[in-house]
Structure 1
Amino acid sequence: MAIRVLVIGGSYFSGRVFVEEALKMPDADLHVFNRGNLPLRIEGVTEHVGDRERPGQIRDAIPDGEWDAVVDFCAYTPEHVETLLGNLRGSVAHYLLISTTTVYRKPLGLPVDESAPMLAGPQPELGEYAGYGYGKCLAEQAARRECKRLGIALTVLRPAIIYGYYNYAPRETYFFDRLRNRDPIVIPETEASLFNFIWVVDMAHLIWACIGDPRVFGEAFNLASPELVSYGRIVEALGRITGKDVTTQRLSVGEITRRKIPLPFPIDESLVYDGAKIDRLFGFEHTPFHIGLREALKYYLMIKRREAVVGEAQ
């Protein structure tokens, strides 16, 4: 019997990879709802076009019926959750909210697990991203209220730093751009910061594993590989992948700050999250970082070659 899944978002990055990976499952009936700015046009996926902030468009664009799961990749405010769940026609058995580890307060100890205190307000020190984590906190709270009111099972998934195919955020591409241009890769002179990541394909598989599983109902999970990574470790992985020495330029934190070099991760604090709760539940083993990074680099180079061909044609 087919599993009928409605994906909110699904055109970009982690949402798109989830759709592509779910299509490999023999029992997936996939529907995607978004504004249609980047149509998927993938065989086996039914696309519905509309704006999630407009109740009438939700009611009109998304067909009635029984949804085994709604996977929401782009709920950034409580209103996003309330408007969606309040206007979906038919029934929803399981709502999976893709949140973020940014919902946690600055930790006193590492790694950060799901019991850690959450934000109590915006983070002005983050500038234009001041409201992102707190908005996700409020979206989680709204999801709990709405799912309880409507009798829907809820699962909240909080990915750490996501990397891989279709990544539009300037994360791994910082390293790839410099590698491709044969520029030295600027990294901090001391390994003061550690991170852990989630490869976007691993994330897709964990989401699919959650769908309809009563063990995840009412739970929140971090999605994070246990493998710790530093700036130096990323450079080492690139050397291993390419088989070449990678030229680096190590600078002090103060000098990096003074020059306003846009490094993709913090340079003087660690972001380490505990994803063991969901890993234990499913017996999940994460893709080693150097393998995920290798696949991300292959994708990046493919896109650059494609852009070059288009540029020459013009």
Structure 2
Amino acid sequence: MSKRVLVIGGSYFCGRVFVEEALKLPGAEIHVFNRGNLPLRMDSVTEHVGDRERAGQVRDGIPAGEWAAVVDFCAYTPAHVETLLDNLRGTVRQYLLVSTTTVYRKGGRLPLDENAPTLDGPQPELGEYAEYGYQKCLAEQAAHRACERLGIALTVLRPAIVYGYYNYAPRETYFFDRLRNREPIVVPEPDTSVFNFVWVVDMAHLIWQCIGEPRAFGETFNLASGEPVSYARIAEVLGEITGKAVETLHLPVAEIARRNLTLPFPIDEDLVYDGAKIDRLFDFEHTPFRTGLREALKYYLTVKRREAAAAGVQ
């Protein structure tokens, strides 16, 4: 049976990979709705243009009909959720809200599962990102209210650190840039901070498995591999991938702060989440970090070659 799915976003990173992976699966009828700044121009994908923050553009830009699911990759505030769901014409069976593990309070017992306490206010210590996690919490709450009122099944997905194709955030590319520029990879001392990740392709497949699955209705899931990673482990894996010795620079945490070095992940706290709930539900095995990072590096090098070729033409 065909699944008629509306993707909100879909042009960048996680949304784009979800669309690409969905098209490889049987029974996918994919529509996307976004501002049209980066058209996909993919066969079998129907693109609708509009601004999700404008109720009229939601009503006029998205055709009426029956949607098996709406997968929302770019809801950052309660208003984003409410404006979308209150103005969609037709019927929606399931709304899948892509949230984040940033909604969890710090200091809980690790790894944090879906029952861990969530934020009850902004996080001033995060500077320009102080509102991000809290607004995502409020967006989740708005989704629960709207879906209950409208009779829509809700699934909330909280990915950990996502990496892979099309990543525009300076996460793995921080390390790739340093390799490419022959600069050492900074490893905090002591190297005690650990994180876990989710490869963007794994994330796409887990989301797809939730669509139309009654066992996912009304549920919240962390998306996270159980494989622990540290700065030293990233350097080690890069050495394994490239077959070359990776130069590292071990610096005390205080020295990193003194030099005002910007690293992509925390250097003095753990970010570890329990994704076993959804993995058990679908008997899902995550892609090993080494494999995912190798694919991410291949993509990065391809992009750099294209950029160099384009610069040579100009």
Counterpart of 1:189? 189
Distance (Å, rounded) in 2 between the aligned partners of 1:115 and 1:2: 34
Q: CA deviation at 1:108?
A: 2.7
Q: CA deviation at 1:198?
A: 0.2
Counterpart of 1:223? 223
Counterpart of 1:14? 14
Task: Say which SS state the counterpart of residue 80 (structure 1) adopts.
Answer: helix
Q: CA deviation at 1:191?
A: 1.5
Q: CA deviation at 1:171?
A: 0.3
Counterpart of 1:235? 235
Q: Indicate the larger mover: 104-113 or 192-201.
A: 104-113
Distance (Å, rounded) in 2 between the aligned partners of 1:34 and 1:107: 37
Task: Say which SS state the counterpart of residue 220 (structure 1) adopts.
Answer: strand
- Structure 2 length as normaliser, TM-score? 0.99
Counterpart of 1:260? 260
Task: Say which SS state the counterpart of residue 249 (structure 2) adopts.
Answer: strand
Counterpart of 2:129? 129
Task: Say which SS state the counterpart of residue 278 (structure 2) adopts.
Answer: helix
Distance (Å, rounded) in 2 between the aligned partners of 1:237 and 1:42: 34
Distance (Å, rounded) in 2 between the aligned partners of 1:240 and 1:190: 22
Distance (Å, rounded) in 2 between the aligned partners of 1:231 and 1:186: 8
> Which residue identity lines up with residue 177 of structure 2 in the other structure?
D
Q: CA deviation at 1:186?
A: 1.2
Distance (Å, rounded) in 1 between the aligned partners of 2:5 and 2:224: 24
TM alignment of 1:1-314, pairs within 5 A:
1-314=1-314
| Residues 4-40 of structure 1: per-residue CA shift (max 9 Å, x gap) | 0000000000000000000001200000000001111
Q: CA deviation at 1:234?
A: 0.3
Identity %: 77
CA RMSD of aligned residues (A): 0.5
Distance (Å, rounded) in 2 between the aligned partners of 1:215 and 1:184: 47
The answer to whether the 8 A contact 2:108-2:116 is kept is: no
Distance (Å, rounded) in 1 between the aligned partners of 2:29 and 2:68: 10
Task: Say which SS state the counterpart of residue 154 (structure 1) adopts.
Answer: strand
Distance (Å, rounded) in 1 between the aligned partners of 2:173 and 2:17: 18
- Structure 1 length as normaliser, TM-score? 0.99
Q: CA deviation at 1:2?
A: 1.2
Distance (Å, rounded) in 2 between the aligned partners of 1:2 and 1:285: 26
Structure 1 gaps, min length 5:
none
> Which residue identity lines up with residue 238 of structure 1 in the other structure?
L
Q: CA deviation at 1:190?
A: 1.5
> Which residue identity lines up with residue 182 of structure 2 in the other structure?
R
The answer to whether the 8 A contact 2:176-2:297 is kept is: yes
Q: CA deviation at 1:189?
A: 2.2
| Residues 110-164 of structure 1: per-residue CA shift (max 9 Å, x gap) | 1000000000000000000000000000000000000000000000000000000
Distance (Å, rounded) in 2 between the aligned partners of 1:90 and 1:311: 47
Q: CA deviation at 1:109?
A: 1.5
Distance (Å, rounded) in 2 between the aligned partners of 1:164 and 1:57: 32
Task: Say which SS state the counterpart of residue 294 (structure 2) adopts.
Answer: helix
| Residues 64-101 of structure 1: per-residue CA shift (max 9 Å, x gap) | 00000000000000000000000000000000000000
Task: Say which SS state the counterpart of residue 254 (structure 2) adopts.
Answer: helix
